[in-house]
């Protein structure tokens, strides 16, 4: 019974999962830095952003294999993007959650 309740909750969370949108600034940065993110990774980003939102996170740093993104969970919008090399020398402020996505 508990397993069934969890599965229903999980399916509801997945079905209400909103896709992330990309701000003009983030799209410009992706183009300038030749950053490409696979559709499967975008799906993971959207899922984890939704999970973070449900936990009360409002601004999140998302680290993928080749990029770092700042995402507003309030409106599921990618605010900015940088490659991993550039991200290693940055200090990230005004975030209250971090999501690390492996392959």
pLDDT grade for 9, boundaries at 50, 70 and 90:
very low
**Total-model pTM:** 0.79
pLDDT grade for 102, boundaries at 50, 70 and 90:
confident
What percentage of the chain exceeds 70 in pLDDT? 82
Average pLDDT, the chain: 85
Q: DSSP for 56-95, please give it.
A: T--EEEEE-SSEEEEEETTTTEEEEEEEHHHHTT----S-
Q: In the structure encoding, which two tokens stand for residue 23, read together? A: 């701000």
Strand 77-83 vs strand 67-72: parallel, antiparallel, or unpaired?
A: antiparallel
Q: What is the pLDDT of residues 42-53, one digit of tens each?
A: 999 999 999 999
- Scan for tokens 């936990």, then name that residue: 55
Question: What CATH number did the domain enclosing 85 receive?
Answer: 3.30.2310
Contact call for residues 29 and 18 (beta carbons, < 8 A): no
Which residues constitute the domain of residue 63?
2-100
Q: In the structure encoding, which two tokens stand for residue 88, read together? A: 């290693």
- Checking if the pLDDT of 78 tops 90, the result is yes
């Amino acid at each position: 019974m508990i397993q069934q309740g969890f599965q229903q909750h999980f399916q509801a969370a997945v079905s209400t999962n909103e896709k992330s949108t990309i701000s003009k600034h983030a799209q410009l940065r992706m183009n300038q830095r030749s950053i490409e993110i696979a559709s499967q990774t975008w799906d993971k980003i959207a899922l984890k952003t939704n999970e973070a939102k449900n936990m009360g996170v409002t601004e999140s740093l998302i680290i993928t294999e080749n990029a770092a993104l700042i995402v507003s969970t309030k409106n599921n919008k990618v605010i900015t993007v940088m490659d991993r090399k550039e991200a290693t020398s940055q200090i990230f402020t005004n975030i209250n959650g971090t999501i690390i996505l492996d392959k």
